[in-house]
Amino acid sequence: MLSDKAAFHDTVPDALAVLTGGLNSAFVAVLQEWITSGDLQKRLAIAEILQTFNTGDPFYSLSRELIINAAGEENAEIIAKLRAAMGLPIVGLWEGEMVSFLEGRIAALAPWKEDDNPRLCTFARELSQQWQKELDMIQMNKISN
């Protein structure tokens, strides 16, 4: 059943969600070990897992560590997966919920924009700017309606 690599990647995060009940401290500790292991496949797996567990302090903490440890071209996929994880809940949200969601994401990334790590700063600035543009568009649509 899980011999297909795509099916495996699609199924594992959901199975982990059921088994762990979320990003509990034991699960987070394992994922943090994987981040610092230097193993690209483990880091990619964490980025995939974070698309399922994409809220709360553990999500931001693990995302931050992945970005800081993602040096080099081979890590571009990790950054892309984290960008996707940050934006996932947008689909299907009502306008008011989207405003709250985007404002929350911008606020959560605000400290990252002041961090000493340039990858982290760039990641946070780019996403915050993108989300601010989306908020501005929502506001303009409200005014014109």
pLDDT of residue 13: 55
pLDDT of residue 94: 76
pLDDT of residue 2: 44
Q: What is the average pLDDT value for the chain, to the nearest integer?
A: 84
Reported for 85-89, long-range contacts at CB under 8 A and 24+ positions apart, including other chains, are 85/47, 85/50, 85/51, 85/54, 85/59, 86/54, 86/127, 87/127, 88/51, 88/54, 89/54, 89/55
Q: Which residue, among 72, 59, 134, 142, has the nearest Cα to 103 in the 3D structure?
A: 134
Q: Model-level pTM greater than 0.85?
A: no
pLDDT of residue 103: 94
Which mean pLDDT values do the consecutive 10-residue runs of the chain (145 residues) have? 51 54 83 92 91 90 93 84 84 76 95 95 96 92 80
Summarised one tens digit per residue, pLDDT across range 41-51 is 999 999 999 98
pLDDT of residue 93: 66
